[in-house]
Structure 1
Amino acid sequence: MRSALSVGTLALFMSAAAPAHAAMLSVCIEGSPEIFNPQLTSSGTTSYVLGQIYDGLVSVKAGTSELEPALAESWTISDDGRTYTFKLRQGVKWQSNARFTPSRDFNADDVLFTFERMMQEDHPYSKVSGGTYITFNTKLADTLESVEKIDDHTVAFHLKQPLAPFVGIMAHQSLAITSAEYADALLKAGAPERFDRDPIGTGPFMLQAYETDSVVRLIPFQETWGAAIGDEARTPKVDAAVLAISPDASVRLQRALAGECHIALYPNLADRETIENSDELNPVQTPVASSGFITFNFREEKFQDKRVREALAHAIDMEPLVEVVYNGMGKVTGALVPPALWGSADIGAHEYDVEKAKTLLKEAGYENGFSTQLWAVPVARPYMPNGRRAAEMIQADWAEIGVDAEIVTFEWAEYIQRSRAGEAQVGMFGGIYDFPDPSQIPNNYFTCDSSGKPSPSNIGAWCNEEFISIMNKAGSITDQAEREALYEEAQQVFHEEVPAVILGGADMITAVDKKVHGYVPQIFGTSRLSGVTVE
């Protein structure tokens, strides 16, 4: 779907809108959505857009780590921890578009459709748009046995074994509920692929137009259930939300300073003082649980040798890298689970030791070094505010041991696609926790399924039986102290095997216009534009 707005038209519209059309909210985001179906993505950039359109059964309360009801009003757990029964909210309306007008409200059939698409290989939508269900495959595929419709407003999820973080997982944006009726209509029309491009949700905003790499335009869905129950935080308060796509953090901030964006996501951390000194903007700092890392591709013979991986880890001078890249707001750590979240292990970074690195390379048969690619994240994220600068510093460090690293990057959507296709020799990646449980990032990025297939975000294809076994055990028990000990044990295995090098993470800063009220950046999950007003 493409918009009739040109980039120039958008800039003019946004500039004029700030003082003259207070009911329009403009947001500068860092990248384009890769898809318009939440099941097919784990990208935070995409989830920010889709989180305005779709709802899940459960959500994380804004600005907290507290889970709260969404499309499910309540839930119960069986004594054996294997059945979760959700009572669904009644009277929830679906959005419409030029091709579809719903004839009924949200009900249990939509929940069944959403999950059966991901569960059943013979489902008519299973392979549509590639059929890669990243979150489901890494968190639920091996555990979820069936989804049962009890009645129109009650659904039971039956698990093969207990899964402690199950309700938190259900709050993940990738498990938002989609319309079974809409899917049936498009299938009958012979256009099922449109289901993932022309979204229909229950959330506070609807997609009006999308121009690739330029702008996403949203309009309020006045019949959304949040407004119907009088929940101000879930009610759209503006006439439109324009999400301008600006990959460069400096450009996003300049647009905000010029009044073209009311909210600018992920400005450079080094620009905090500029924001603080501005008459128009506030720097809103939010603690974020995130992990950034470079990961070695185990499809490459040299990276299958642990000595090579250890050498590259010891060759990185982490203290100055974290200080520069995270602008004094990061912390040097070797823990896969970030210090901001329970379950983080007290593990330091690999010691900076050039001579040890050279010795390890020599033992591995690479006395004269080798050449490799080093991919750099092209957008600013809490886990990596400046991918290019980080890559340059690593490149310089590795040159000291004879390793010639070519820095490679792509536009964000292409970067994700290519990384997940296994193209990155050394890939820079990372993630932000969507729910408050240590399992998310390790399971997403460093595990494989029961058949040995790496999870889609496991771009290095590291499949370690000991690590996976510990992670699975930690997810099957409910005692938090025991789970915490297991996560710490898993992180020790990770540190010793060096499938990746942890680079760190930092608090998030958002530049918010002083005329904006009600915007609460999320600690976990997707920040909402509902409930936000502009003077």
Structure 2
Amino acid sequence: MIKALLSLMVPCGSVLILSACQPDIPETIQQGMVYCSEGSPESFNPQRVTSGTTIDAISQQLYDRLLDIDPASGELLPALATQWRLSDDGKTYWFTLRPDVQFHHTAFFSPSRTLNAKDVTFTFNRITQTDHPYHATGGAVYPYFQSVDWGSLVKAVVAENSNTVRFELSRPDSSFLSNLATDFAAILSAEYAEQLLQQNQPELLDQRPIGTGPFFFKEYKKNQFIRYYRHPEYWRGKVELTQLVFDLVPDNAKRMAKLLTHECDVVAYPRNAELKLIAERPDVEVQSQISMNVGFWAFNTQKPPFDNVLVRKALAYAINKDAILDAVYFGYADKAKTLLPPTSWAFYHDLPEQQYDPIKAQELLAQAGYPKGFSMDIWAMPVQRLYNPNALKMAELMQADLAKIGVKASIVSFEWNSFRRKLSEFEHDSVLIGWAADNADPDNFFRPLLSCSAAESGSNRANWCDPNFDNLINQALLTADIKQRRSFYLTAQLYLDEQMPLVSIAHSKRFQAKSVKITGVTINPYGGISMAAARKSL
């Protein structure tokens, strides 16, 4: 099967490989890699999604960003921008672009130039300008940027010359540079977009991608596989893998079976219960990484009875987090008491921990007017994520806990893309989901998950809009002083504990399992995965 996925005849001189003939099939099999992923991407443009499943499959494989993040320190690093500076009032940024960065040459697009400032202005003006020819393509949905209120923040993105871009902001924002380093801020090709407009096919910009990343798009069959070829002119240097295949396997047991039978080289998110089995085999191994993430249980606060804070607190007291950590995470996670993990500089160490107390839960339900409980649903993700390796198992444990206080919970799940669509339409009562940070700034946990802007964009799973909370997290962005920012974030965490729009459950390590023949697959604390340095040995 692995040979079937990797083998693809390409004639000598194909536009897909510009510098030489495509390697013969045995060499292609040897130098290619199969990554077994947990689901199909929603789009091939990171601007359009927040799903980690999609980001893993596309962002760092196909694209680059203006800035990168050092996985060890969290510091910002040059990427497509080699340097940047800020005005004294904190509202204007200038970026100098890296020269000689090549876009992908494919069967459907041959660029006539290298990266320049037009590509950067196109990328971000598409998001903010409602009259932009590409703004409404695909539904004008840019969930991450909408959740951080990018539209009101960014007044203009201007090309001063071919290699200098100016961002004009309406107010200072200490998270701005960090947001440019997220996987969502991928730089697109303005020239390719213009070609598609002339062909009257603008929707293909998000479906048949062009970027500057280490691989270029070749083929996609929904719910089956994605095929990429290496970008021979990648600006960071030679990519070792000749091709990269994402084998789309939602079932965790099937993914693991494919790894053990060598049909996959790497598998995403093995269940924690399987880690010991993997460790006992000589041909496979586990990679782990401390990760900035949180798994949580969000209530749809616009639906009764979840609009009642007493009900939300009662449900929080009813859940036995220790049992969940044992049965779902198998000890490979820390119990959460707030959205922020303990590694964040804004973490509230002295915040009281939510206790498991069914008696207190029943008392609060009675105070709220539900002495006999009620019925509700718990939506459980059909895929495994680092912050929740088994949502269905977690839901079953919670279902049993809730029954003890008279709450009858039904467990609901759908195919992953349907699940996310219905979730963004707020059809749920509650949902088990989570978040993996995209950068080191604490804002990355608060605004994308619980701001009023995030409720409008659909990424606020609690559907919670509280002006008091919004004011706290917005004030934290107006200053660059860490002590002042931390003070606002501590108050915000205390306020969340009082209002309980969601229950933070766990902060987990990130795991992936792979063949010992594979090296260089990079996972980092801020989400995403890179195959740019991956190699396969004999």
Same fold (TM over 0.5): yes
- Are 1:487 and 2:495 counterparts? no
Q: Is the 8 A contact 2:147 2:459 kept in 1?
A: no
1:357 aligns with 2:361: yes
Aligned partner of 2:189 in structure 1 is: 179
Amino acid at match of 1:419: L
Query: CA 1:204–1:20 in structure 2 vs 1: closer, same or farther (change >3 Å)?
Result: closer
Q: Match for 1:145 among 155, 168, 180? A: 155
Amino acid at match of 1:441: F
Cα contact 2:28–2:243 (8 A) shared by 1: no
Partner-residue secondary structure (3-state), 1:173: coil
Q: State the alpha-carbon separation in 2 of the partners of residues 205 and 408 from structure 1.
A: 37
1:63–1:520 contact (8 Å) kept in structure 2: no
Over residues 229-258 of structure 1, what are the superposed CA-to-partner deviations in whole Å (9 max), with x where a residue is unaligned? xxxxxx421111111111222322221121
Pair 472,69 (structure 1): closer, same or farther in 2 beyond 3 Å: same
Aligned to 1:92: 101
Give 1:99 shift. 3.1
Amino acid in structure 1 at the alignment position of 2:202: P
2:15 corresponding residue in structure 1 = none
Partner residue, 1:230 = none
Amino acid at match of 1:267: P
1:457–1:18 CA distance, 2 compared to 1 (3 A):
farther
Q: Which residue of 2 aligns with 1:3?
A: none
Does 2:209 correspond to 1:199?
yes
TM-superposition CA deviations, 1:351-389 (whole Å, max 9, x none): 222122112212222222111110011211121111011
Q: Is the 8 A contact 1:31 1:247 kept in 2?
A: yes
Structure 2 letter corresponding to 1:54: Y
TM-score relative to the length of structure 2: 0.92
> Is 2:54 aligned against 1:46?
yes
Counterpart-to-counterpart distance in 2, 1:181 and 1:12 = 31
What corresponds to 2:391 in structure 1?
387
Identify the residue that residue 164 of structure 1 maps to in structure 2. 174
2:213 and 2:234 in contact (8 A); partners too: yes
Return the letter of the residue paired with 2:151. A
What is the number of residues matched between the two proteins? 518
The answer to whether structure 1 residue 302 and structure 2 residue 312 are counterparts is no
Give the partner amino acid of 1:251. K
Task: Mark the CA change 1:337 to 1:382 in structure 2 (over 3 Å): closer, same or farther.
Answer: same
The counterpart of 2:348, out of the listed 345, 350, 353, is 345
Structure 1 Cα separation of the partners of residues 26 and 386 of structure 2: 27
Deviation at 1:64, TM superposition (A): 5.2
The equivalent residue for 1:232 is none
Q: Which residue of 1 aligns with 2:326?
A: 323
Q: Unpaired runs of 5+ in structure 2? A: 9-24
Aligned mate of 2:227, from 196, 217, 234: 217
Deviates more, 1:42-51 or 1:494-503: 42-51
Residue 285 of structure 1 deviates from its aligned partner by 1.2
Pairwise mapping of residues 27-176 of structure 1 onto structure 2 (< 5 A)?
27-50=35-58, 51-61=60-70, 65-139=74-148, 140-176=150-186
Displacement of 1:144 in angstroms is 1.6
Does 2:21 match 1:23?
no
Q: Indicate if the aligned counterparts of 1:11 and 1:260 stay in contact, CA closer than 8 A.
A: no
Equivalent residue in structure 2 for 1:190, among 178, 200, 207: 200
* Cα 1:99–1:519 shift into 2, 3 Å: closer
Equivalent position of 2:288 in the other structure? 285
Contact 1:454 1:463 in 2 (8 A): no
Structure 2 counterpart of 1:454:
456
Task: Give the percent of matched residue pairs that are identical in Structure 1 and Structure 2.
Answer: 35
Return the alpha-carbon distance in structure 1 between the equivalents of residues 207 and 258 of structure 2. 28
3-state DSSP class of the match of 1:524? coil
Deviations 1:249-303 (A, max 9, x none): 2322221121122111110112111111111112111000101111111221211
Contact conserved, 2:47 with 2:185, CA < 8 A, in 1? yes
Say which is worse superposed, 510-519 or 341-350, in terms of deviation: 341-350
SS of 1:241 mapped into structure 2: strand
Give TM-score, length-normalised by structure 1.
0.93
Q: Which residue of structure 1 lines up, in the alignment, with residue 529 of structure 2?
A: 527
Q: Do the aligned partners of 1:298 and 1:461 also contact (CA within 8 Å) in 2?
A: yes
State the alpha-carbon separation in 1 of the partners of residues 534 and 5 from structure 2.
21
Which residues of structure 1 form unaligned runs of 5+? 1-5, 228-234
> Kindly tell me: are residues 453 and 315 of structure 1, through their superposed partners in 2, closer, same or farther at Cα, counting changes over 3 Å?
closer
Amino acid at match of 1:433: A
Q: CA deviation at 1:437?
A: 1.0
Whole-angstrom distance in 2 between the partners of 1:300 and 1:8: 51
Per-residue displacement from partner, 1:22-52 (whole Å, max 9, x unpaired)?
2011111111111011110111111112120
Partners of 2:497 and 2:26 in 1: CA distance: 49
Q: CA deviation at 1:63?
A: 5.5
Q: Say if 2:101 and 2:212, in contact at 8 Å, map to a contact too.
A: yes
**Whole-Å separation in 2 of the counterparts to 1:149 and 1:381:** 39
Separation of aligned partners in 2, 1:488 and 1:159: 26
- Determine the structure 2 residue equivalent to 1:471: 473
Q: Is 1:208 aligned to 2:212, yes or no?
A: no
Residue 18 and residue 265 in structure 1: after superposition, are their counterparts in 2 closer, same or farther (change >3 A)?
A: farther
Residue range with higher mean Cα deviation, 349-358 or 119-128: 349-358
Q: Deviations over 1:474-518 (max 9, x none)?
A: 112111122122111101111110101111121111112111122
Aligned amino acid, residue 229 of structure 2 = I
Task: Call closer, same or farther: CA 1:350–1:68 in 2, change over 3 Å.
Answer: same
Given that residues 202 and 224 in structure 1 are in contact (C-alpha distance below 8 angstroms), is that contact kept between their aligned partners in structure 2?
A: yes
TM-superposition CA deviations, 1:198-241 (whole Å, max 9, x none): 001111101111111111111011112222xxxxxxx4211111
1-side partners of 2:507 and 2:393: how far apart?
Answer: 15
- Secondary structure at the counterpart of residue 39 of structure 2: coil
Q: 1:369 aligns with which of 373, 391, 404?
A: 373
Distance 1:213 1:349 in 2: 42
SS at match of 2:426: coil
Distance 1:90 1:11 in 2: 33
For residues 229 and 70 of structure 2, what CA distance do their matches in structure 1 show?
Answer: 23
Q: Which residue pairs with 1:243 in the alignment?
A: 246
Aligned to 2:429: 425
CA contact (8 A) 2:6 2:34 kept: no
- Residue 97 of structure 1: CA displacement? 3.2
Change (3 A) 1:343 1:392: same
Residue of structure 1 in register with 2:417 after alignment: 413
| Aligned twin of 1:231 | none
Partners of 1:349 and 1:31 lie apart in 2 by 35
